[in-house]
Amino acid sequence: MPGIPLVARETSSYSRSTDQMCREDSRVHLSAEEEIAAEESLSVYCKPVELYNILQRRAVRNPLFLQRCLSYQIQEKRRRRIQITISLSGAVNEGLQAQFPFPLYILLGRLVSDAAVAEYSAVYRFSRACILTNFTGVEGSTQVQANFILPEINKLALKAKSGSLAILLINFAGNQNSLRGTDLTKARLGVTSIPSNEGGYCLWGKIPLESLCMSWEKSPCLSLGQRAEFTYPVDMQSCFLKLSCLNKDKCVSIQMPFNSGTSNTTQQVHITISAEEFGVKDKSPYDSYTCSDISSSSLSRIIRLRAGNVVFNYRYYNNKLQRTEVTEDFSCPFCLVKCASFKGLRYHLPSSHDLFNFEFWVTEEYQAVNVSVKTDIWRSEVVADGVDPKQQTFFFWSKRRRHRRMKNLGQHSKHVQPLVLESNLPPEACQLLDGGNDLQSVSIGVGEFAQNVPSTFNVEGVANAGAQSYTDPECVQSVSGNNLAAPAMLQFAKTRKLSVERSDPRNRTLLQKRQFFHSHRAQPMAWEQVTSDRDSEDEVDDDVADLEDRRMLDDFVDVTKDEKQMMHMWNSFVRKQRVLADGHIPWACEAFTKLHGDALVQAPALAWCWRLFMIKLWNHGLLDARTMNNCNVLLEQYQKQDCDQMRS
Amino acid sequence: MDKQASGDTVTGANVRRMARTAIGCEPLVGSQTPSKKRDYRVTNKLQEGKRPLYAVVFNFIDSRYFNVFATVGGNRVTVYQCLEGGVIAALQSYVDEDKDESFYTVSWACNVDGTPFLVAGGINGIIRVIDVSNEKLHKSFVGHGDSINEIRTQPLKPSLVVSASKDESVRLWNVHTGICILIFAGAGGHRNEVLSVDFHPSDIYRIASCGMDNTVKIWSMKEFWTYVEKSFTWTDLPSKFPTKYVQFPVFIASVHSNYVDCNRWLGDFILSKSVDNEIVLWEPKMKEQSPGEGTADILQKYPVPECDIWFIKFSCDFHYNAAAIGNREGKIYVWELQSSPPTLIARLSHAHSRSPIRQTAMSFDGSTILSCCEDGAIWRWDAVSTS
């Protein structure tokens, strides 16, 4: 192989010229014959590509798990949200720092209810606290700003209108109290080390999100995708604060002292909040270029510049030649599925298109995949040689997913329910908890999205969202629709020969329209007859078989008429009852006796033929004496019946 | 289908056959000198088109229409009426939607209530049943795997038609219900195209067929007659009807040594012709004990000079008194069938009739003879009283 696989690539890739990576067979010069041979060898791609097109059609309504994961990732990446960065406004707070000791805790809290816990004036629920310090901490880092992620502005504005969301600033250092040293950031779910009745005095201040939203909405910067920065003065008041844990969430309860009005501990802090919207598909200036006005050399450079572009090199003609194409958005070139990242592509390609070999290359400049056909195995897996796959019919039956979706939804809610019931909380608290769900999912993702790795902290949130993307039919629809409708191919990539029209549904309609004929009678069949369960293909025509049997027996000259009759009866019986094995004989003899009992009794010569035949069977060890006896007893019974009828 | 010439040119040398004839039992060969019992004159000539006409047939099914006949050629079926004074009046014409269809055969039949039908078939293998009374296509029968060479109607039950096909099968159809009742093919069936088939005039169970495997086979549907009866009352889908295969004929005769392209029952005897310039009348002698075996006793021969290409068929009048057959040169030989030795009634020739005559049609009483030619012409000959 001319290429170097990914592992080796890490060290040697820098010396390779990019032109070599994206060449269009310019290096190899071929004779006319060789070119024809090369074209032919390129056609080995056709069948696998066609197969994958068919598979892709099938998977439209029922995407693979991997695809669902990847589309969820893309969706999450695109979700609009606002990141806010909170820091102390340096210029204003310059003088304050001496009398305003750090650390300052910043929480995004939701007002639970004033009435719920009567003795406190306000209870806020929060899930994460950020700490601001101005000194070098134990870990050697200085934390001067806190980051939070909020939902997009429209949703946020709706939520904020209720007035219950606020940014809280808490400072213990101002007061000498028992709570000093309690680290709010470390207060964790289920940790009981913090006594619920512990409390202390501190300074606190709040910025209602409502006011933030209003200023953001007014500001043109945010809507244009730029950073919006505002400075707010916050009044810090002293209060009694109590920390508690409610099931999953932490709560701070704040009690204003009765003499709050006359309190002289009020300080003013200036906070800078800068907000930026994320998740909108980043528009690159190259999105709207056309092929014609850019030279091909600069084009390839531009293509490489874009983050989601992946170069695919299709090797053929014994790996001597290659065709190159580029896809956008980490799309798979075979099924056009967007794979969110190069890693996603690395998982998707081998798992979904295992008829090809893939080599993955990553450098700082570009990502590339070398593709070659697994020549040894695909023949058996695709259709036989010389068979046009378009003529083949592929059936795919799948029950509608709705039912299962419902079930999943049910399972999910079941999964959540016990958690709530298990907590030893008063019912009011449970209700509060349910009410607070929204904020929970808002605040859960804080700072965590950048890594895309779910920590233990936001497991719930991810599960929730995952279930959503799975259970919401519209979501699945739109994702799969995207795969088909928006081909991520670049302009020049469309001209490739590998793209094969998708003919599966057309074939199906043709199949339904065409006339079917009965395989025995050659008569046209109604569609209902074609699709009915009944299949008479391998049925034996008993009448004709009987006729032929009789004709065959008629040829015997040394056999009496009764013997022929007996033979015919037995042959006919054996054929109709499909007596095939030696083990069937005892049953067959009894059944035969019952079936033809009357006829045998009425023609004693015939009955004797039957008895002789049974003896013959017994001679050959096919019939046991007991069964033979049973048969004769049966015959006697028929005889008796016959006599009774004669008499009466 | 190239009906111009058979595989090998036949001369008098290989006319000798396998039928063992005892001394004094040689077949009687008719004299080729016309007896002048009856004289025919051309009264009309009709050029239907350029395409060859393969069949012409009078309606013997319905006495009201004895003077009505039909021709087929190309994708066209035409109905005419013979009027006094040699006049031929065109009544109806049907054109198949497929212009590549080439009809080879046509037969008159009728519904159970007596509505006259025309049953035509040809290269497409589709049998078209035309309701002549309201000029509509009544039914189309598919099933034959290749072209249809002859269709005949059971005169005792004119709703039953039998078709002979290139697919080596003979099929029995009920035109009333559109059911394929029986298929005569299989282990004992023909081994090449079936060219001709005919119903026995009185034994309703019996048919004779012949074809390119040089044999004439006689079939019995006695054991299958319940299915024939069932077909008249069948109301379900035709494809659900228990169509039966009749695999073994009751008699196989090797009377000819080349393609047998026409056979007709004359009572219990059979008239058949190959490319040997003669029609042969023979008696099938079946062995009671062993069906399928037997001997053919050749009774008489009716020489027809210049009749050595295949797909030339003869026709008889209603009572089988006479048979008319055309030849390669456009001449017609009219033989008295039931006289011994056979007598040639007339030899009809015309200076302008030079094209091969594929089939003739004798009217009910034999007074009119029609011939249809390779060049698409219909000739009408009428008997002139020799007073």
| Interatomic CA distance for residues A123 and A253, integer angstroms | 4
Q: Are B119 and B110 in contact (CB under 8 A)?
A: no
The three state secondary structure string of B93-149 is: EEECCCCCCCEEEEEEEECCCCCEEEEEEECCCCEEEEECCCCEEEEEECCCCCCEE
CB spacing of A523 vs B290 below 8 angstroms: no
Residue with the two structure tokens 């049998």:
B127
Determine the average pLDDT of the residues in A134-154.
63
DSSP B8: S
Q: Are B143 and A522 in contact (CB under 8 A)?
A: yes
| Interatomic CA distance for residues B275 and B214, integer angstroms | 10
Q: Minimum mean pLDDT among A125-129, A520-524, B213-217: which range?
A: A125-129
CB spacing of B243 vs A548 below 8 angstroms: no
**Residue A227 — very low, low, confident or very high, per pLDDT cuts 50/70/90?**
confident
In this predicted structure, the answer to whether residue A177 has a pLDDT above a threshold of 50 is: no
CA of B183 vs chain A CAs: smallest distance (Å): 8
DSSP A331: B
| Interatomic CA distance for residues B152 and B105, integer angstroms | 9
Q: pLDDT higher for A561 or A278?
A: A561
What residues of A are in contact with residue B241 (Cβ under 8 Å)? Answer: 521, 523
pLDDT in tens, A313-324: 888 887 788 888
Q: Are B183 and B244 in contact (CB under 8 A)?
A: yes
Residue with the two structure tokens 């609009």:
A80
| Interatomic CA distance for residues A348 and A342, integer angstroms | 10
Q: Are B190 and B217 in contact (CB under 8 A)?
A: yes
Burial class from Cβ neighbours inside 10 Å (0-12, 13-18, 19+) for residue B25 reads exposed
Q: What is the pLDDT of residue A88?
A: 74
Q: Which two tokens stand for residue A114?
A: 């004033």
pLDDT in tens, B76-92: 999 999 999 899 999 99
Q: What is the pLDDT of residue A233?
A: 81
Determine the average pLDDT of the residues in A453-461.
38
| Interatomic CA distance for residues A367 and A384, integer angstroms | 35
**Residue A143 — very low, low, confident or very high, per pLDDT cuts 50/70/90?**
low
Burial class from Cβ neighbours inside 10 Å (0-12, 13-18, 19+) for residue B358 reads buried
Residue with the two structure tokens 């039950």:
B157
Which has the closest alpha carbon to B123: B2, B274, B207?
Answer: B2
CB spacing of A522 vs B237 below 8 angstroms: no
A to B CB pairs, distance under 8 Å: 48
Nearest CA in chain B to A520: B243
pLDDT in tens, B257-316: 999 999 999 999 999 999 999 999 999 988 766 666 778 889 999 999 999 999 999 999
CB spacing of B142 vs A520 below 8 angstroms: no
Q: pLDDT higher for B238 or A479?
A: B238
pLDDT more than 90, % of chain A: 9
Residue with the two structure tokens 């065409």:
A514
| Interatomic CA distance for residues B149 and B123, integer angstroms | 8
Which has the closest alpha carbon to B307: B280, B278, B336?
Answer: B278
In this predicted structure, the answer to whether residue A451 has a pLDDT above a threshold of 50 is: no
Which has the closest alpha carbon to A464: A444, A478, A450, A482?
Answer: A444
**pTM for the full model?**
0.50
pLDDT in tens, A564-597: 999 999 999 999 888 889 999 999 999 999 999 9
Q: What is the pLDDT of residue A146?
A: 78
**Residue A51 — very low, low, confident or very high, per pLDDT cuts 50/70/90?**
confident
Q: Minimum mean pLDDT among A426-435, A600-609, B294-303, B362-371: which range?
A: A426-435
Q: pLDDT higher for A170 or B126?
A: B126
Nearest CA in chain A to B222: A547
- As for the ipTM of the complex, it is 0.71
Partner A contacted by B180 (CB < 8 A): yes
User: For chain A, what is the mean pLDDT?
Assistant: 67
What residues contact A284, with CB distance under 8 A and at least 6 apart? A306
Q: Are A160 and A150 in contact (CB under 8 A)?
A: no
Q: Which two tokens stand for residue B271?
A: 């008239």
- Please list the ranges in chain B whose pLDDT falls under 50: 5-19
Compute the CA torsion angle A589, A591, A596, A601 (nearest 10 deg): 60
Do the bridges between strand B377-384 and strand B368-373 make them parallel or antiparallel, or are there none, so unpaired?
A: antiparallel
Q: Minimum mean pLDDT among A43-52, A455-464, A565-574, A620-629: which range?
A: A455-464
Nearest CA in chain B to A553: B290
Q: Minimum mean pLDDT among A97-106, A426-435, A496-505: which range?
A: A426-435
Q: What is the pLDDT of residue A410?
A: 41
CB spacing of B245 vs A544 below 8 angstroms: yes
What residues contact A172, with CB distance under 8 A and at least 6 apart? A103, A105, A179, A180, A181, A182, A200, A202, A203
Q: Are A482 and A63 in contact (CB under 8 A)?
A: no
CB spacing of B243 vs A520 below 8 angstroms: yes
Q: What is the pLDDT of residue A100?
A: 56
CA of B193 vs chain A CAs: smallest distance (Å): 18
